[in-house]
Amino acid sequence: MTALEAVSVYLPPTRVPIEDLAGSLGLTEMQVKLFRRFHGLREVGRDPDMSLSDLLMKAAAGLDALRGQEHRVRYVLYARAMPVVAPYPVNPLHEVCRALGLEHALAFTVTQQSCASGLMAIDMAGRLLAADIAAAPARPDLTGDPAGPLALILAGEKAFTHDAQVFTDTTVFGEGASACLVSASGARDRLLAYASNVRGDFDNATGENDARLQREYRPLLAEVMLRALDEAGLTLDDIRVILPHNVNMVTWQRMCLLLKFPRDRVLLDNIPTSGHVFCADLFVNYQTACERGLLQPGDRYLAAAVGAGGGATFAAMVFEH
């Protein structure tokens, strides 16, 4: 069963109040007030001196479990929201792989589901590893290591264009990165179920679907969350904590009303100080949950994300800590 072996997160220490971003983002005074008062967004991480590779490396450097295990890493997946993040021929993913001694791994990017790509990357990594193990007799390179193969999932982006900095009237993106080691059969943070709903019909190129997406956003997210729980044979009553995407406070306050789930069991702590850290939200919130002692061995938790952009993807995962 797919499992998260280790998670590391890096958030730039420099925080920028959203008021300071208003000019460059073209936000009105009312939009800034809405972000702060109802969306609960106060500041985001920014470090203009760090490259994307630097950012990802900072997260990977904190992954102690990777040291000495590089030979076991077969896949490096970079989950990101933005399709293009660097000018050709710069390739931050390959730069990071070289720096980490992972040139032997198959490295690729997962971006088609915007900010929900992080969850898809976990599912994909687990499937690839499980398939490799199933094929192990024919793959002598895998049979020699009883600990089994690993995948490394990287997430996090530089907020370098207008679209990568703000989603109008919805969220402000913050810089940060995460690195997560995934195994096919680990004992901790085991993936019990994954549900997603990919909706290309919410394409936002013309803006004509925006109102419908706003209307259907919460019911569709609730549907995948409940479907993931159902596939895991659980209900919301079994869930210790929800690790949300950091889109904004008001969305999750209303999700709690819709799901009839206590708001104090949704980890919203990082929204005011870090904003929406692209695909890294799950990992950022996981680390906070662990640091705050919110997860005990055996606790089940639910992760949820929405990727909106060229279409919309609603995704949820159930884990056992």
CB contact at 8 A, 39 and 157? no
Min dist CB 31 to another protein, Å, is: 9
Q: Is 30 in the site for another protein (CB under 8 A)?
A: yes
Instruction: Please tell me the distance from the alpha carbon of residue 49 to that of residue 31, in angstroms, as a whole number.
Output: 28
Residues in the chain: 321
Amino acid identity, position 275: G
Instruction: Please tell me the distance from the alpha carbon of residue 193 to that of residue 232, in angstroms, as a whole number.
Output: 5
Identify the residue among 19, 112, 250, 288 touching another protein (CB under 8 A): 250
Q: For another protein, which is the closer residue by CB, 104 or 263?
A: 263
The residue written with tokens 């997962």 in the block is: 110
With contacts defined by CB under 8 A, how many residues of the chain interact with another protein?
A: 15
Identify the residue among 38, 84, 90, 108 touching another protein (CB under 8 A): 38
Binding segment for another protein (CB under 8 A), chosen from 60-68, 252-260, 284-292, 298-306, is 252-260
Binding segment for another protein (CB under 8 A), chosen from 33-41, 50-58, 184-192, 289-297, is 33-41
Binding segment for another protein (CB under 8 A), chosen from 100-108, 131-139, 251-259, 290-298, is 251-259
Q: For another protein, which is the closer residue by CB, 35 or 75?
A: 35
Instruction: Please tell me the distance from the alpha carbon of residue 218 to that of residue 258, in angstroms, as a whole number.
Output: 8
Identify the residue among 106, 131, 257, 290 touching another protein (CB under 8 A): 257
Q: Is 262 in the site for another protein (CB under 8 A)?
A: no
Q: Is 108 in the site for another protein (CB under 8 A)?
A: no
Identify the residue among 254, 290, 291, 292 touching another protein (CB under 8 A): 254
Instruction: Please tell me the distance from the alpha carbon of residue 11 to that of residue 181, in angstroms, as a whole number.
Output: 18
Instruction: Please tell me the distance from the alpha carbon of residue 215 to that of residue 24, in angstroms, as a whole number.
Output: 29
Q: For another protein, which is the closer residue by CB, 37 or 162?
A: 37
- Give the DSSP H or E segment for 7: strand 3-10
CA distances 264 to 24, 58, 162, 221, 248, Å, are 35, 31, 33, 19, 15
Which tokens hold the place of 244?
């949300």
Q: Is 26 in the site for another protein (CB under 8 A)?
A: no
Instruction: Please tell me the distance from the alpha carbon of residue 30 to that of residue 10, in angstroms, as a whole number.
Output: 31
Min dist CB 28 to another protein, Å, is: 10
Identify the residue among 139, 263, 290, 292 touching another protein (CB under 8 A): 263
Site string for another protein, 299-318 (x = CB under 8 A): --------------------
Q: Which of residues 182-221 bind another protein (CB under 8 A)?
A: 211, 214-215
Identify the residue among 1, 37, 135, 145 touching another protein (CB under 8 A): 37
Cα 6–Cα 8–Cα 14 angle in degrees, nearest 5: 170
- Give the DSSP H or E segment for 90: none
CB contact at 8 A, 171 and 152? no
CA distances 232 to 40, 228, 320, Å, are 32, 6, 10
Q: For another protein, which is the closer residue by CB, 249 or 318?
A: 249
Identify the residue among 33, 67, 188, 292 touching another protein (CB under 8 A): 33
Instruction: Please tell me the distance from the alpha carbon of residue 252 to that of residue 140, in angstroms, as a whole number.
Output: 48
- Give the DSSP H or E segment for 103: none
Binding segment for another protein (CB under 8 A), chosen from 30-38, 177-185, 233-241, 274-282, is 30-38
Which residues contact another protein by CB under 8 A? 30, 33-34, 37-38, 169, 211, 214-215, 250, 253-254, 257-258, 263
